Amino acid sequence: MKKSLEKLLNKPLPVDPFKPQRAVITDVEDLAPDHKKFTFAFLDESLAKVWDYIPGQFVMLTVPKAGEIPISICSSPTRKGFFELTVRKVGRKTKVLHRLKPGNVVAVRGPYGNGFPVGIMEGHNVLIIAGGLGMAPLRSLVWYILDRRNRFKEVYLLYGTRNYEFVLYKEELRRLKEREDIKCLFCLDRVETPEDREWADIEGLLTELIPEVKLEPSETYVAVCGPPVAYKFIGKELLKNGYPESQIFVSLERKMECGIGKCGHCQIGYKFACVDGPIFPLWDTKNLPEML
Amino acid sequence: MDFHIERAKVLPKSNLWSFLEGLKNIAPLIAPVKRGNKSVFSEVSDISDVTINYTRTILPPKKFLVPYRRVRFTYSTEDLSFSSNFRAREQIIFGVHSCDLHGISILDSIYLKENPDPRYLEVRKKTVLIGISCMPDDYCFCLSTGTAFPDGANWDLFLTDIGADYFVSIGSPKGDELIIELKELFRDIEREDLELYKRSTRKKKEAFRDKKLPDLERISQLIELEYESPVWDEEARRCLSCGTCTNVCPTCFCYTSVDVPDFEGKTVKRVEFTTSCQYPYYSLVAGGHYFKPTRTARFRHRYYHKLVGYPYQIEKLGCVGCGRCSAECPAKISMVETLIKLRGTDEKESGKAAEQTSTGRSL
């Protein structure tokens, strides 16, 4: 027998990591067509007080009768007592979830995944690039940074969506834009209505905003989340502008079913998105096959 | 000076049946039995059903550690309270070949290294593994994977055929307890037994002399570099995506979890069942995107995961050379052939892989 194997068996039985905790929906907000933001609070108050996570991590949410889904947390761990999930209605389980109302009870386990390397990011500039629903996990990072603003240098937020209708957290982002301590640049794929015009800094893609960022690349950490197709172009543009590959982090999603590296569904190359990700350095996107 | 070894005993072959009877009286006994012209691991009520000289069972013994279909929880939709009536039982699995023992050690690493699964641990703690030596057939390639002998795996007793007797190695305190309990069946080791035991290693190695074996040196790198090789397409063309290879694999662990409500919608069962990376829906994500849309991508993924993924995750190859995937494949796709094809000219130049491959591969 090997030492490592002997150790594995000589352990007391751990707490069941598959057992979820009950949480009540305290608020539901319509953000955009088919996009809702749910606010939850754990029924167990002592758990609610200590429950902690890192921006970029996700939870496994049990939608009663439908099943479990992995959802990124969109609230910041700096604010305790509740957490928020933004969910797009896209399949069977999310359809059931969208029918739930405040007061309904769900079950949640987690948090899972590695999250953004916020500890390493401290003391540096941070460039946050969100595309579409990718804003959700990055909202967690934005508020984490703003609530601990003195630990970070310059912060930029680039956000691109289809049109104004699909912009998430509209009011919140408007207020962010007025702040001095974070620079926000927004783009829309198509600018047609007056609202679009009022919102967008440019009409076009996120890649066109990257050269507008006035940061010293070697002093900057970049966090990207968006549709996988965008990563290739955003990655290329970032490298072209001098951002070091090792300081660019992207968030990748797969169909996690267990969240703890046991079910195998979320394999990206040799890594598991649930335990080795979902935040990967850009370097990995080159090396892991079928990454994007 | 008297020759004395505590770490092993000798079981005369004439005592084997009494030994099995003794085991059966201690705990439920699982052993290989004949089913048609194949063998399966099954709980035995009559020890005369046990088949000793089998080559491989259809399914590996993992089905007694992680059932292929299992209910994780039952919850009520009214108050969402999750409960489970899971209970692990004591069991003895007898007659496990070296490759399957290594397979179980791989599962141990997967289930217990990070985020340990309490159920697996409980089952594993209550399971006694008794291995037995074997001779290879044409599908076996355990010599390449370094799993032809049980060293480095997690087992309790291991019986090696040394002619008139079995040389019984003791691998754990649990195994030793069994020996003490049934001590009248065993005798002490003599110098001669040890010599025979050592010779049996060579005998098994020699049995591989004329067999086709893949060279697995630097295999992780090779798979990564040959990721775009046309060999994947050629081989996958015959693949039926039936998932047999993963279902019979002793190290495959992927599962799918679904919530199944009862007719009234009052209680819901969370059921987990074995799935396969060869099925299209395996890589389907919300929104309808398939990350592995083609048969080739799925076919290649199995090799990639076994030979690149496992070494990264648990520092061991994910293949133990049991040959089940090749033996059971309805399209006669052979892991050995695919790997030899992938190596291409390199393989031809290196001559017989068997001579080059050392045992006890560690990464």
- Say whether A261 and B152 touch across the interface (CB within 8 A): no
Going by C-alpha positions, the residue among B221, B215, B210 that lies closest to residue B345 is B215
- Say whether A8 and B112 touch across the interface (CB within 8 A): yes
Mean pLDDT confidence for B51-69: 93
In the predicted structure, residue B331 carries a pLDDT above the cut 60: yes
How far apart CA A61 and CA A22 sit, in angstroms, is: 10
Domain-located, residue B17: yes
Mean pLDDT confidence for B109-122: 92
CB of A266 within 8 A of CB of A113?
Answer: no
Q: Which two tokens stand for residue A161?
A: 């969506």
Nearest by CB to residue B121, choosing from A13, A62, A260, is A13
| DSSP tag of B309 | I
Nearest by CB to residue B116, choosing from A14, A62, A270, is A14
As for how many domains chain B has, the answer is 1
The distance of B64 to chain A (nearest Cα, Å) reads 17
- Say whether A17 and B80 touch across the interface (CB within 8 A): no
Q: Which amino acid is at B198?
A: K
pLDDT of residue A292: 59
- Say whether B153 and A15 touch across the interface (CB within 8 A): no
In the predicted structure, residue B186 carries a pLDDT above the cut 70: yes
pLDDT of residue B348: 54
Mean pLDDT confidence for A146-156: 93
How far apart CA A5 and CA B289 sit, in angstroms, is: 39
Nearest by CB to residue B282, choosing from A22, A265, A270, is A265
Confidence of residue B352 (pLDDT cuts 50, 70, 90): very low
- Coil, helix or strand for B217? coil
Confidence of residue B360 (pLDDT cuts 50, 70, 90): very low
Domain-located, residue B71: no
**CA-only gyration radius of chain A, Å:** 19
How far apart CA B50 and CA B47 sit, in angstroms, is: 5
Mean pLDDT confidence for A149-175: 92
Q: What residue in A sits closest to B309 (Cα-Cα)? A: A270
* The Cα angle at residue A33 between residues A29 and A35, in degrees rounded to 5: 50
How far apart CA B130 and CA B200 sit, in angstroms, is: 18
Establish how many alpha carbons lie within 13 A of residue B36's alpha carbon, considering only the half-sphere containing its beta carbon: 3
In the predicted structure, residue B362 carries a pLDDT above the cut 60: no
In the predicted structure, residue B141 carries a pLDDT above the cut 50: yes
| Sheet with B82-83: strands ordered across | B82-83, B69-76, B267-274, B255-261
Question: Could you tell me the CA-to-CA distances from B289 to A139, B75, B189, B292 in Å, in that order?
Answer: 25, 31, 62, 9
Going by C-alpha positions, the residue among B280, B282, B306 that lies closest to residue B294 is B280
Question: Could you tell me the CA-to-CA distances from B65 to A10, B91, B332, B348 in Å, in that order?
Answer: 17, 10, 29, 41
Give contacts of B124 with chain A, Cβ < 8 Å: 9
- Coil, helix or strand for A162? coil
Going by C-alpha positions, the residue among A151, A92, A163, A94 that lies closest to residue A118 is A151
Mean pLDDT confidence for B185-211: 91
| DSSP tag of A71 | E
pLDDT of residue A224: 94
Of residues B30 and B2, more confidence is placed in B30
In the predicted structure, residue A286 carries a pLDDT above the cut 60: yes
Nearest by CB to residue B118, choosing from A2, A13, A272, is A13
pLDDT of residue A10: 86
Helix (H) / strand (E) element for B205: namely helix B191-207
Going by C-alpha positions, the residue among B161, B164, B160 that lies closest to residue B150 is B160
Domain ranges in chain A are 21-112, 118-251
Mean pLDDT confidence for B330-355: 73
pLDDT of residue A250: 92
First vs last C-alpha separation in chain B: 41
How far apart CA B134 and CA B322 sit, in angstroms, is: 11
pLDDT of residue B289: 80
Confidence of residue A182 (pLDDT cuts 50, 70, 90): very high
- Say whether A90 and B287 touch across the interface (CB within 8 A): yes
Mean pLDDT confidence for B258-287: 90
- Coil, helix or strand for B257? strand
Establish how many alpha carbons lie within 13 A of residue A112's alpha carbon, considering only the half-sphere containing its beta carbon: 32
Domain-located, residue B247: no
- Say whether A261 and B259 touch across the interface (CB within 8 A): no
Quick: pLDDT tens for B84-108.
989 999 999 999 999 999 999 999 9
Residue B1's contacts (CB-CB under 8 Å, 6 or more residues apart) are none
CB of A105 within 8 A of CB of A21?
Answer: no
In the predicted structure, residue B5 carries a pLDDT above the cut 50: yes
Nearest by CB to residue B312, choosing from A2, A4, A270, is A270
CB-defined contacts A:B, below 8 A: 146
**pTM confidence score:** 0.90
- Say whether B105 and A255 touch across the interface (CB within 8 A): no
The distance of B209 to chain A (nearest Cα, Å) reads 28
Nearest by CB to residue A275, choosing from B114, B125, B153, is B114
CB of B42 within 8 A of CB of B33?
Answer: yes
Mean pLDDT confidence for B169-176: 91
- Say whether A262 and B268 touch across the interface (CB within 8 A): no
Mean pLDDT confidence for B266-278: 93
In the predicted structure, residue B347 carries a pLDDT above the cut 80: no
Return the percentage of chain B with pLDDT > 70, whole number: 94
Return the CATH number of the domain spanning residue range A118-251. Answer: 3.40.50.80
Give contacts of B113 with chain A, Cβ < 8 Å: 8
- Say whether B255 and A105 touch across the interface (CB within 8 A): no
Quick: pLDDT tens for B211-244.
888 888 888 888 888 888 888 998 899 999 999 9
pLDDT of residue A126: 95
Give contacts of B309 with chain A, Cβ < 8 Å: 267, 269-270
How far apart CA A221 and CA A224 sit, in angstroms, is: 10
Weakest mean pLDDT among B1-5, B168-172, B191-195: B1-5
Nearest by CB to residue B117, choosing from A64, A262, A290, is A262
CB of A288 within 8 A of CB of A87?
Answer: no
How far apart CA A31 and CA A34 sit, in angstroms, is: 8
Question: Could you tell me the CA-to-CA distances from A148 to A120, A144, A286, B311 in Å, in that order?
Answer: 14, 6, 33, 40
- Say whether A270 and B152 touch across the interface (CB within 8 A): no
pLDDT of residue B361: 45
Give contacts of A264 with chain B, Cβ < 8 Å: 253-255, 275, 277, 305
pLDDT of residue B346: 61
Domain-located, residue B161: yes
Q: Which two tokens stand for residue A229?
A: 């197709």
Give contacts of B77 with chain A, Cβ < 8 Å: 64-65
Weakest mean pLDDT among A120-134, A214-228, B2-16: B2-16
* The Cα angle at residue B190 between residues B188 and B194, in degrees rounded to 5: 110
| DSSP tag of A247 | G
Tell me which residue range forms the domain holding B121: 8-59+83-207
The distance of A278 to chain B (nearest Cα, Å) reads 14
The distance of A179 to chain B (nearest Cα, Å) reads 35
Domain-located, residue B147: yes
CB of B128 within 8 A of CB of A275?
Answer: no
pLDDT of residue A288: 75
In the predicted structure, residue B363 carries a pLDDT above the cut 60: no
Which of A7, A58, A265, A285 has the highest number of chain B CBs within 10 A, making it the mutation to test binding with B?
A265
Specify the CATH number for A21-112; select among 3.30.70.2190, 3.40.190.10, 2.40.30.10, 3.40.50.2000.
Answer: 2.40.30.10
Query: How many CB atoms lie under 10 A from the CB of residue B45?
Result: 9
In the predicted structure, residue B358 carries a pLDDT above the cut 50: no
CB of A259 within 8 A of CB of A110?
Answer: yes
Confidence of residue B345 (pLDDT cuts 50, 70, 90): low
Q: What residue in A sits closest to B152 (Cα-Cα)? A: A1
pLDDT of residue A231: 85
Quick: pLDDT tens for A100-113.
999 999 999 989 99
Beta bridge partners of A58: A72, A112
Nearest by CB to residue A262, choosing from B125, B253, B308, is B253
Establish how many alpha carbons lie within 13 A of residue A97's alpha carbon, considering only the half-sphere containing its beta carbon: 32
Q: What is the mean pLDDT of chain A?
A: 90
Quick: pLDDT tens for A28-74.
999 999 999 999 999 998 998 889 999 999 999 999 999 999 999 99
CB of A27 within 8 A of CB of A102?
Answer: yes
Domain-located, residue B65: no
Mean pLDDT confidence for B242-261: 93
Q: What is the mean pLDDT of chain B?
A: 89
pLDDT of residue A287: 75
